Structure 1
Amino acid sequence: MDRGGCRMNGGGGGESSEINGSGIGSQPGMITLEDLESFSEDQLSDSGNGSLEEGETMEDDEDQERLLHYWQDVARGHRVEVPGDMAEPIQQITSNNNGAHTRERVPFTLISRKEKLGDVHYEKRHYEKANWACVTVSEETYEQSICYGFMRIMRYICQQNSAGTYLGMTLPIVTVVHTDETRRNLMQAVTVAYYLPDQYQAQPPQPYDDGIVIEEWPAAIIYSRAFTGATNEVTIISEIHALAELLDAPGECVGDTFIIAGYTNPAHANRQNEIWFLERP
């Protein structure tokens, strides 16, 4: 796995991974960034494998192992291995998803909005400089990269940090991707980034994983277009081209670096995502 930072200012990626019609990430049951974060006990009960009986909780070792084995079974079919040391982070994220913690949103100021016939084509936003925990990975597929990257971020959120505490989830979880000059192929290197909650912005807890970097991203102007459904290589390339066609001056944006922001569980019928373009400094 590659290690490195993830500033929101463009830059290169890894080796090219050609996009084809296979739609790797569109396969049902694929673990993606938000799966491990937002999977609830109710969804686990509906899954069949590893279901909870009425009155049971996920607080004992048996339930922790059952939840881990469920994710291992799902992931294995898509060439993603969930290691045993993910049992506790998965349980913590799942338990805290059920109302124990409020999910903080990344703050921004809306500059303008382009609409036509009541439909929002895109928004222009200003994001202040902020600290993000970032990890860059380079696996064989995009889905593998974001899965392995987010599992490392999960460990950091769930006590594997210098504060020794659960830090809390923020939204969106973002992935930084790079394309070739034609914008038809994604590069292999993918950066997974987690916005530090406000209470940790001044003094971010340091990760135990030396591949996770705490970076202060500079203030940036973002052009954001919402879309629903799965995120995979095919849909990302499609959304990049869709937003580029809508912008009045696409040349003012970074041409090879883009951000995918995820807000909801991908199991949801109307999964909420955004594609972000970065205005050149």
Structure 2
Amino acid sequence: MLKAARQALFSSGLQYPEFTAPEKQPEDYQVRTYQAAKWVSTTLSGTSLDEAMRVGFRRLFNYIQGHNHKKAKVEMTAPVTCRVEPGAGPACESRFTVSFFIPKEHRQVPPPPSDPDVFLENREQFTAYVRSYGGFSNETLARDELLKLLESLGRDGVHFAERPYYVAGYDSPFKLLKRTNEVWLLQTQAHT
């Protein structure tokens, strides 16, 4: 437990999902193609991204601490992602799916979750447009960065899905400097 807690608190030595990226990148965002991977996830409904991240993180942290059918400890990974499917209007509930990447040593047969609100998912390969930003992320900052990414993609005439979008965080709340956060929009194919 100490190792997982230390990793969660200090964000060192964590495994990340594999991706490839072209050498030539736009100046204000990146294009990344993530390989197919397994993730452990939980879905919540509500109006607050911050609350969904807090509750979702706690559920998933319990899973990696051994609250699963194998009672197996699972290494902490990064990033913690949150898939956001916005509600129809400003006061409507959104769906938030908070996820941890499954590390290599558990990838073939991840421990089945014992919490009915936690599930395993296979993410197929996907390409995302990624905007990085620092500081302590919150719902307002993530939304501002998403708007900047939308503006950049519009400027460059690329094809993307506006919904859902992802918010990704790489650091523990105890890391004070050089924090890394991201917003992702998924690439779509041009319609002919």
CA contact (8 A) 2:17 2:37 kept: no
How far does the alpha carbon of each residue in 1:95-154 deviate from its partner, in whole angstroms, 9 at most, with x for none? 45588x831111111135434xxxx31111111111111101124532222111111101
Q: Is residue 43–residue 96 contact of structure 2 (8 Å, CA) maintained in 1? A: yes
Indicate the residue corresponding to 1:262 in structure 2. 169
Tell me the residue number matched to 2:17. 106
Aligned length: 185
Map of 2:111 onto structure 1:
205
Structure with larger Rg: 1
Is 1:195 paired with 2:106? no
Identity over aligned residues, as a percent?
A: 25
Q: Distance in 2 between matches of 1:98 and 1:265?
A: 5
Listed as ranges, the matches of 1:45-56 within 5 Å are none
Any conservation in 2 of the 1:254–1:278 contact (CA below 8 Å)? Answer: yes
TM-aligned CA distance change 1:126 to 1:255, over 3 Å:
same
Q: In structure 2, list runs of 5 or more residues that go unmatched.
A: none
Which structure has greater strand proportion? 2
For 1:227 and 1:181, locate their aligned partners in 2 and report how far apart those are by CA, in whole Å: 27
TM-score under structure 2 length normalisation: 0.84
Distance 1:129 1:265 in 2: 25
Distance of 2:145 and 2:73 partners within structure 1: 34
In structure 2, relative to structure 1, the CA distance for the partners of 1:236 and 1:212 (3 Å cut) is same
The aligned counterpart of 2:183 is 275
Please state whether the residue corresponding to 1:214 is helix, strand or coil: strand
Tell me: CA distance 1:179–1:186, structure 2 relative to 1, closer, same or farther (3 Å): farther
Q: CA–CA distance in 1 between the matches of 2:143 and 2:47?
A: 18
Change (3 A) 1:136 1:227: same
Cross-structure match for 2:43: 136
Is contact 1:179–1:256 with CA below 8 Å preserved after alignment? yes
Q: Normalised by the size of structure 1, how large is the TM-score?
A: 0.59
The 5 Å alignment of 1:63-142 reads: 93-96=4-7, 102-115=13-26, 120-139=27-46, 141-142=48-49
The alignment's C-alpha RMSD in Å is 2.6
Preserved CA contact (<8 Å) 1:177 1:189:
yes
Q: 1:186 to 1:105 in 2, by over 3 A?
A: farther
